[in-house]
Amino acid sequence: MSSVEQQTFPQQKPQRGWFGRNWWWVLILILVGGFVLCSGLCGGVFCLVIQGLRSSEVYQMSLAAVTKDPVVIEKLGEPITDNWFVGGEMNVNNDQGDARLQSSIQGPKGAASVATVARRIGGKWGLTRIEVTFSDGERHVIELDPDQAGGGMDDAPPWNPSGEAPGEETP
């Protein structure tokens, strides 16, 4: 009699599905996609804030005053152009507010930074101070005409921490 030998084959592991084979790449794709999405969102918000400052009435008034100032024109030459970045803050509460902006300008002869301070009273912006610092370190404060200055410092009384009205005497 012949005996038939039974052959036993090693048991194979069940074949993994697509996700089982590629889960690492899916994870990397999700992480990179999330990073790109967050970066794009942050960059978009940053650009919106910069564009908001650049299109503000305060910035436009400041840029107009700087580009017309004879000292700035003499030091930087013409045409004077602004750079894309504007930094600072604007606080508005109903018809009052204040702003402090920093920007850069350049001309054929050099570059400078501009610091602008403004305030808003009765819904109207007025420039309080514009200081230009040239690349050689020289500073120039631009004299503001009454239209740009929003009436100057006389349109609001000075702050009195004691709470007394001007002209009142304490008993």
Q: What are phi and psi of 8, to 5 degrees?
A: -110, 130
Q: Which residues contact 141 (CB under 8 A, 6 or more apart)?
A: 129, 130, 131, 132
> What's the pLDDT score for residue 144?
83
What is the model's pTM?
0.68
Break the chain into its structural domains and give their ranges.
Answer: 23-55, 57-155
Return the pLDDT at 152: 47
β-strands 139-141, 124-134 pairing: antiparallel
Question: How far, in Å, CA of 140 to CA of 131, rounded?
Answer: 6
- Please write the tens of the pLDDT for every residue from 128-158: 999 999 999 999 999 887 665 554 445 554 5
Q: Provide mean pLDDT across the span 157-170.
A: 53
Residues 57-155, CATH architecture = Roll (3.10)
pLDDT digits (tens, 9 = 90+) for 59-110: 999 999 999 999 999 999 999 999 888 999 999 998 899 999 999 999 999 9
In tens, the pLDDT along 1-49 reads 556 677 777 777 778 888 888 889 999 999 999 999 999 999 999 999 8
CB atoms within 10 A of CB 122: 11
In terms of C-beta distances under 8 Å and separation of at least 24 residues, what long-range contacts does 49-54 make, across chains too? 50/84, 50/85, 50/86, 53/86, 53/87, 53/88, 53/90, 53/101, 54/82, 54/84, 54/86
